[in-house]
Structure 1
Amino acid sequence: MTAQLLFADRLYDGERAQTDAAVLIVDGRISWTGQRSRVPGEAKGANELRTPDGTTLLPGLINCHIHLTVSGGPDFDVETRGSDAELALRATVNALRSLAAGVTTVRDLGAPTSAAIVLGRAIAAGELIGPNVIAAGRGITSTGGHGWQIGRQADGPDEIRKAVREQLFAGASVIKIFSTGGVLGTGAHPDVAQLTLEETTAAVEEAHSRHLRVTTHAHATKGAKIAIEAGVDSIEHATLLDAEAIRLCKDKGVALVPTFAALKAILSNRERLAPDVLARASALTERHQQGIRDAIRAGVKVAAGTDAGTPFNYAERFGTELEALVEIGMTPERALAAATSVAADVVGRDDIGRIRPGARADLVAVKGDPLSDVRACWQVAAVWKDGRSVPTTSAAARRA
C-alpha cells in the first residue's frame, strides 16, 4: 500500500472551497479529505507532501471536447489526412500537452482513425503517461456532411446503427454524431440539419443499449431539436439555440458544451484563414454567447470543452474556455465547476472531477486563487495523475 498525505493552504473540491485542507491518497485513490487539524489515524506513516506556496489545489480539469489527432493548424482538412503514424504521434503529444495544462481527462470527439482509442488504452494500462481518454472513435455523419474527415458516413437508421456498432467494436467509450453542418472544411452549412429524427434515434438507442452516452455536434436550432427529441445526452457548440430548444434541454436534462475557444481562435487569426470560415464564425459569435447565457439562466447544465485541434486552438490552451465562460457571466467558481464536477457528470464518470473519497487522485495545483480570478488556471504549478506527480514543463508537453 502506498499512502500520501497532501496538505493545501487552499482547496476547491469541485463543489466548495476550503482552507488549511488535507487529502489522503492511498494507491492512487482519495481515501479522505478534510481539515488539516482533523487528519484521521489511518494517515499515520503516510508520506507527507505540500502543494507549492501560494497555490490552490483543484480536481484535475476535464476537457469535454478535444480532437487529439489534429494540432490546430490553419487547414483542418489537411491535418486530418496525415498518415496513421502521424495521427498517433499527434495524439500522444497533444495528450501530454493537455496533462501539462492540468487537464487530467479528455473526451476525444472524432478522429480519422482509432488512434485516440488505442492511446487511451495504453494510458489506462500504465504504458504511457497521459490524461484519461474518453474516445468516440469516428464521429457519425451523413454522406458528405460536416465532419466527414473524422467521421463514418452513414445514411438511414440501419446504416447509422451499424456505424455505432462499429465504433463500439473499436472500443469507443462515447458516441459522437453530427446533427448539423459546421464552420470548418467542406460539408454542410451550420444551419443545415444533417440527420433525421429516425437516424438520430437509431444512434441513441444503439448507444444507450450498450450504456454509452451520445453527444452531438449541433449549431442550429432545427438539428439540435431533432437531437434533443431523440434523446442525446449533450450538445456540442449549441451555437444558435432558441428559447424553445433551451427549454427542451432543461426539461430533458441535455447538457451543453459551448466550445467558445474554437470560435475565439478563428477570429483571433483572421488573416490566416479562408474567407468562408471567417464569415461563418463571425455570424455565429454574438448569438452563441447570448444563447449560452440564456441557457445558464434557465438552469441548463454547461460543461467546459475547447474543441482543441481546430485552427489555432491548441490542446494546452484550456484556460481560454474558462475565461470565455466567465466573460459570458459565469462566476469563476461556476466556471471551475464546469471544468470539474459538472464536466464529470456530463461525461458520465463519478471517479473524476471531485476531490472526495473514492475518486481518482487526479489533481492540479495552480498559482493564485482561481475562485477570484479564473486566469490563475493558466499558471499550473503541479499535476498529479492517479496520485503520481507528472511533469508540467517537459519539451514534449509545452509548445514552443
Structure 2
Amino acid sequence: MTGVQFENAQVLGVDGRFRPGSVILKEGVFGGDEDAAAVVERFDATGLWLTPGFVDVHTHLAWRAFDAADRDGLSPVEQARGVRLNAGRTLAAGVTGIRDAGGLSAALAQEAGGLRAALSVEMLGASDARGPAHLRGRVQQLADAGAAWIKVVATGGVGAGDGVLVPVFDELELKAIHVTAARLNLPVMVHAWGGAALTRSLEFGAASIEHAVLITDEQCRLAADAGAVVVPTVWIYNDVLAMIEAGTLPAVLAPAARRAVEAHPVAVRRCLDAGVRLAMGTDAGLDTQHGRNLHELAALIEAGVPSEAALLAGTAGGARLLGRRDLGVIRPGAPADLVCFTADPGRPEVLRDPSRVAAVYVRGRLLHQATG
C-alpha cells in the first residue's frame, strides 16, 4: 500500500536549491509520479520546506560530559539512558544518521532508537602511541568490536595549547593504523588541527579530516586531489568558548578556543577555494549540545559556505562519506528519511531554531512530530 503524499511543498533538490513540488512516502522509500494514483493520504504542505534527513558525521552520542573521567564514571544504566536521550534530541533536530566518533559501543548503539549509526567504538589516541605492532592490534580489536570506522586523534585539541600541532603518533605508527585499517576495509577518520600529522594522514589515505582548524592551502590541494572530506566542526569551538566565558569550563582553554574560532572560517574558505568536499559534523558531546546539530550548518554558512552547499554538506555530503549514496537525497526508491521545516532551512536563524522542525521521518516512519 502506498502511504502519503506531501503536496505544494518546497523540496530540496540534488543541487541544494528548493523548488515547488510534492513528495511521496511509500513502504519505507520515496515514491515517484507513477505512485501518485495509489496514495491513500494527501497533505497540503504549503508553507513547509522538505529536506532529506541530515547526517552528522562527527558526534559522540554516548558522551554527556566534557571530562573523560566524568564520562567514565557513568554507570551502564546511566550511559544507556544518556544514549536514548541524546538520540531523541538528535532525531528531533532533523538528523537521521550519524557517524559516532568515539564512545558508542555496539551494545549502546541499540539504545539509539531509529537513528542510523556508523560506529568507531573508541578513539586511538596518545595512550595508544606504543609502536606499530600495538596499533595494528588495536585496529583489529576495534574491528572485532563492531567499528565501521577507525578514529585517530592525530593532534591535540583545545587542551593542547601551543602544542596543538605536535603529532600524537610518529610516521610509522600512523602508517600502521592506515595500512591495517585498509586491510580490514575500514576507512579512517582523523582528528587533526593541522601540521605534519594532517599531511601524513592524507598521504596515507584518510577518508576524512576532522576539524582542520589550521589547514594550509597546500593541504587543501592535497585533500582535494585525494578525494578526502573535511569535517570542520566550526560551531563546537564557539560553543566551547561560550562555556569558558560563562565559567563552566576552565579559563586555561580560552586561548586555544579563541584561536579556533578565529581561524576556522579561514580554513573553511580555503577548503571551498580548493574544491575540498565538506560534510557536517558537530563533535557534540554534552547533553546541552545534542539536539543542536544544525547549528553547525548555520556556522558554515556564516563562515562563507553558500547555503546550498551547506545543506548538501549536511545531507548528501555526509551520506556519501558514509558510503550511502542512497541517503541524503529525495528521489524515487531512496530510503524515506525526510525532515519537514516550517521555514527555509537555508537561513541560519532557522537552522538554530528547533521549533522549526515540524516532523522527522526515518524509513518512512514518523519518529518525531513537533507539539503545539
Give the TM-score normalised by the residue count of structure 2: 0.91
Measure, in 2, the Cα distance between the counterparts of 1:51 and 1:136: 41
- Secondary structure of the residue aligned to 1:391 is strand
Deviations 1:210-264 (A, max 9, x none): 3322101101222111111111000000011122211211111111001112101
Q: Which amino acid aligns with 1:9?
A: A
Structure 2 residue corresponding to 1:193, chosen from 156, 167, 171: 167
Contact 1:262 1:313 in 2 (8 A): no
Which whole-Å CA distance do the structure 2 matches of 1:89 and 1:177 have between them? Answer: 27
Equivalent residue runs for 1:220-231 within 5 Å: 220-231=194-205
Whole-Å Cα distance in 2 between the matches of residues 49 and 175 of structure 1?
44
User: Are the equivalent residues in 2 in contact too, given 1:213–1:348 (CA < 8 A)?
Assistant: no
Q: 1:398 — aligned with what?
A: none
How far the C-alpha of 1:392 sits from its partner, in A, is 4.0
Residue 110 (structure 2) pairs with residue 136 (structure 1): no
For 1:272, the equivalent position in structure 2 comes to: 248
Cα distance in 1 for partners of 2:191, 2:157 equals 8
Alpha carbons 1:254, 1:300 under 8 Å: kept: yes
Distance across 2 between alignment mates of 1:142 and 1:304:
26
- 1:271-317 deviations in Å (ceiling 9; x for gaps): 2211222222122321222122111111111111110015x761101
Residue 24 (1) aligns with residue 24 (2)? yes
Cα distance change, pair 382–278 in 1 and its aligned pair in 2 (3 A): same
Which secondary structure state, in structure 1, belongs to the residue aligned with residue 134 of structure 2? helix
Q: Within 1, Cα distance between the matches of 2:5 and 2:25?
A: 6
Unaligned runs of 5+ in 2: none
2:11 is aligned with 1:11: yes
Deviations 1:78-105 (A, max 9, x none): 2343222222221121111100110001
Corresponding position: 1:118 with 2:107: yes
Q: Deviations over 1:47-92 (max 9, x none)?
A: 2233644110000011111001113x45454234322222222112
User: Which residue does 1:155 correspond to in 2?
Assistant: 130
| 1:242 correspondence with 2:205 | no
Q: Does 2:57 match 1:64? A: yes
After superposition, the Cα gap between the structure-2 partners of 1:374 and 1:275, relative to the gap in structure 1 and judged at 3 Å, is closer
Q: For residue 361 of structure 1, what is the amino acid of its counterpart?
A: A
Contact 2:6–2:45 under 8 Å retained in 1: no
Counterpart check, 1:106 vs 2:81 = no
Q: Whole-Å Cα distance in 1 between the matches of residues 202 and 81 of structure 2?
A: 36
Q: In the TM superposition, what is the alpha-carbon distance from 1:24 to its structure 2 partner?
A: 2.8
CA offsets 1:86-139 (integer angstroms, 9 cap, x no match): 22221121111100110001111011x62xx2344x37xxxx633101111001
Report if aligned partners of 1:70, 1:80 keep a CA contact under 8 Å in 2.
Answer: no
1:325 paired residue number? 300
| 1:306 aligned to which of 282, 286, 307 | 282
- Which of 172, 187, 200 does residue 213 from structure 1 map onto? 187
| Most deviating of 207-216 and 237-246 | 207-216
Partner of 2:333: 358
3-state DSSP of counterpart to 1:315? coil
Tell whether 2:368 aligns with 1:391: yes
Tell me, yes or no, if the aligned pair for 2:12 and 2:51 is still in contact at 8 Å.
yes
CA distance in 2, matches of 1:68, 1:136: 12
1:86 & 1:14 partners in 2: Cα distance? 40
Letter in 2 for 1:28: G
Q: Tell me the amino acid that sits aligned with residue 78 of structure 1.
A: D
Q: 1:149 aligns to what?
A: none
Cα distance change of structure 1 residues 51 and 181 upon mapping to structure 2, 3 Å threshold: farther
Contact 1:361 1:385 in 2 (8 A): yes
| Alpha-carbon separation, structure 1, partners of 2:270 and 2:201 | 19
What is the aligned counterpart of 1:258 among 232, 250, 255?
Answer: 232
Q: Distance in 2 between matches of 1:216 and 1:326?
A: 24
Deviation at 1:187, TM superposition (A): 10
Q: 1:169 to 1:383 in 2, by over 3 A?
A: same
Contact 1:177–1:215 (8 Å) recurs in 2: yes
Secondary structure of the residue aligned to 1:354 is coil
**In structure 1, C-alpha distance between the alignment counterparts of 2:18 and 2:255, rounded to whole Å:** 46
Residue number in structure 2 paired with 1:55: 48
Matches within 5 A, 1:291-302: 291-302=267-278
Output the amino acid matched with 2:268.
I
CA separation in 2, counterparts of 1:44 and 1:304?
A: 37
CA deviation digits over 1:349-386, x for unaligned, max 9? 12211112332101101111223x24323310111111
CA contact under 8 A between 1:180 and 1:188: conserved in structure 2? no
Counting only pairs closer than 5 Å after superposition, residues 143-182 of structure 1 correspond to structure 2 as 143=127, 153-182=128-157
Seq. identity, %: 33
Q: Which residue of 2 aligns with 1:45?
A: 38
